[in-house]
Amino acid sequence: MDDLPAKVQELIKELDEAAEDEDLDKIKELTQILLKTGVDVETITLEKLSLLVMEGEEEMSQGWTRVAIQAGLDPFKTLIEGLAKGMSLIGAKYEKGEAFVPQLLIASSAMYGGMDLLDPYLKQEKNTASKPLTVVIGTVEGDVHDIGKNIVKTLLSANGFNCVDLGNDVPASRFIEAAKENRATVISMSTLMTTTMAEMPKVIHMLEEECIRDKLLVMVGGAPVTTEYASQIKADVSPHDAVSAASWLKASVLNYPSESARWG
């Protein structure tokens, strides 16, 4: 943005301040002035959004989402190329060991803050969009640690998946019910503790007993869960972190049978 005219840079700075102060009238007024300058408001706004989410600036991400709405930008594009891109950027840094969990959490809040504002506009366009695939996600029974699970959910949502979040301490039978109710493509289970790992094969056995194991993918994760363990309990994968989970799932569903082919 350094190559923008000084006047535009000044406007962006003023918008940053208005966003931080949550001054809605000022945001509205400044957005109109920015539009009149003739600059590419879409490119500026999407770049701002992705950087603000990456930095976990919740108020400012909301402020710039208001700019996007005010400027009439496509809400899906704002979500995917702005807010969600920011989440992916911090996710990539985390994967390289350049960021930590708290940074993922504040980026997640920033992304959801913007998404809440976009939601009414996204709903208006939902009929024209293709139906997202559903992931039933939860922390297994006996384990209340759900920070990791929430980060996986955020990154999957940022990558276009519909996440049905069952929360933490989820009994095995609840995973099965939710998978059936939502015609799920994936069950994603996590645990932080070695003591509750045995709940994961329990869910997989129940899927087999219900004859629905082949209708969906099973992803398992959490600090003590290894690839060997995933394979031993017949899960499909145990990604080593939330970013890998999103990448793996995106690649895996490309050639996966459609929801109607699997669930009828």
Partner 1 sequence: MVAEMTSKERVLSMLNRKQVDRVPVVTGSTMVKEYIEKSGGVWPDYHSNPEMMVNTAGLIHTDAGIDNVVVPFGMFIESHAVNLEVKMGRIDIQPSVRSFFSNPEEVKYDNFLEDKYVKTTLDAIKLAKERFPDAAVTAFLVAPVTLAGDLMGAENLSVLSIKCLQKEKQMQKMKNWISVALEINKIYARACVEAGADVLYYSDASASPNLVMPEFYYEVAVPAEKEIGDFVHSLGCPWELHICGNTTPIVEGMAATGANCLSVEQAVKMSEVTKIAGKVPVIGNITPLLMVEGSEEQITGAVRNALDGGAKASMLGCGTPPLSTSDRLKTWVKAVADWSAENL
Among 9, 173, 194, 258, binds partner 1 (CB under 8 A): 194
**Identity of the residue, 4 or 89, whose beta carbon is nearer to partner 1 in the bound complex:** 89
Integer CA distances (angstroms), 44 to 4, 15, 40, 80, in order = 10, 12, 6, 15
- Tokens standing for residue 45: 């706004």
Between the alpha carbon of residue 188 and those of residues 72, 139, 167, 203, 217, the distances in Å are 36, 9, 11, 11, 8
Query: At which residue do the structure tokens 């996007």 appear?
Result: 68
Residue from 100, 129, 240, 258 binding partner 1 (CB under 8 A): 100
> What is the distance between the alpha carbons of residues 5 and 39, in angstroms, rounded to a whole number?
9
Task: Write down the least CB distance from residue 216 to partner 1, Å.
Answer: 26
According to the binding rule CB under 8 A, does residue 147 interact with partner 1? yes
Among 26, 28, 42, 142, binds partner 1 (CB under 8 A): 142
Among 114, 143, 154, 235, binds partner 1 (CB under 8 A): 143
> Residue 28 or residue 202: which is nearer to partner 1 going by CB?
202
Residue type, 189: M
**Sign for the pseudo-dihedral over CA of 75, 77, 78, 80:** positive
| 164 Cβ contact partners less than 8 Å away, ≥ 6 residues apart | 134, 135, 136, 137, 178, 182, 184
By the rule CB under 8 A, 56 interacts with partner 1: yes
Please tell me whether residue 206 adopts helix, strand or coil conformation.
helix
Can you tell me which of 101, 181, 208, 251 binds partner 1, judged by CB under 8 A?
Answer: 101
Which of 210, 223, 240, 257 forms a contact with partner 1 (CB under 8 A)? 223
Name the segment binding partner 1 (CB under 8 A); options: 116-124, 143-151, 152-160, 179-187.
Answer: 143-151
Residue range at the interface with partner 1 (CB under 8 A); choices 25-33, 144-152, 174-182, 209-217: 144-152
Looking at 26, 93, 145, 202, which residue binds partner 1 (CB under 8 A)? Answer: 145
Q: Closest CB to partner 1 among 90 and 217? A: 90
Distances (CA, A) of 102 to 109, 155, 225: 11, 15, 22
Q: Please identify, among the stretches 2-10, 19-27, 157-165, 196-204, the one whose residues bind partner 1 according to the rule CB under 8 A.
A: 196-204
- Token couple for 130: 């293709």
Q: How far apart are the first and last CA of the chain?
A: 50
CA dist 153 and 159 (Å) reads 10
Interface with partner 1, residue 197, by CB under 8 A: yes
The residue with tokens 């959801």 is 112
* Structure tokens belonging to residue 76: 């899906």
By rule CB under 8 A, what count of residues binds partner 1? 23
Specify the stretch interacting with partner 1 by CB under 8 A; choose among 20-28, 45-53, 99-107, 115-123.
Answer: 99-107
Residues that bind partner 1 (CB under 8 A): 56, 100-103, 105-106, 109, 141-145, 147, 150, 169, 194-198, 223-224
